Amino acid sequence: MAASASTPWVGVIMGGRSDLEHLQPAIDILAELRIPHEVRVVSAHRTPDWMMEYASTAESRGLSVIIAAAGGAAHLPGMVSSKTLLPVLGVPMPTTVLSGFDALLSIVQMPKGVPVGTQAIGKPGAANAALHAAAILALKYPELRERLAAWRKARTDEVLAHREVAG
């Protein structure tokens, strides 16, 4: 069962356009794995009504997973999770003087009942969020499971092809 190319499976959201550079690895991996997705700016603090609308309508619009990036106080992932039953994967952004550590703590310390799957800070976390989303979706879409398995095998093959280091 495949969704149409026009129906995104994953929502990639961020508090501001400045987060896009850190989220690009997630977007690239979703594209490489041919996972339909949308990318939106959804600010918890500057556009709270839009954030609530986005989160509360996500499932009815066909989304299955939301990747939410936020820096500083990092309210976006948790607030979105509070308005949807979909899995929300939080990516802390390294945008403050604390280099994302504040965002990491904000996202990972969600209260009981409002889960957010917290990833690493910045680009590595964004990449892993996309792979985590792919693994969730692969439970439903066998063709995606095959693409994800091939992607992971290619990473293994890359390491094995270059395992000797000249001294």
Q: Which residues carry a binding-site annotation for substrate?
A: 19, 46
3-state secondary structure of 8: coil
Q: Rounded to 5, what percent of the chain is helix, strand, coil?
A: 45, 15, 40
Task: Determine the Cα–Cα distance for residues 70 and 133; give it in Å rounded to an integer.
Answer: 17
- What Rg, from alpha-carbon coordinates, does the chain have? 16
Task: Determine the Cα–Cα distance for residues 71 and 107; give it in Å rounded to an integer.
Answer: 9
CA atoms within 13 A on the CB side of 124: 3
Task: Determine the Cα–Cα distance for residues 115 and 91; give it in Å rounded to an integer.
Answer: 13
3-state secondary structure of 91: strand
Which amino acids are annotated as binding site, given as ranges? 19, 46
Task: Determine the Cα–Cα distance for residues 104 and 102; give it in Å rounded to an integer.
Answer: 5
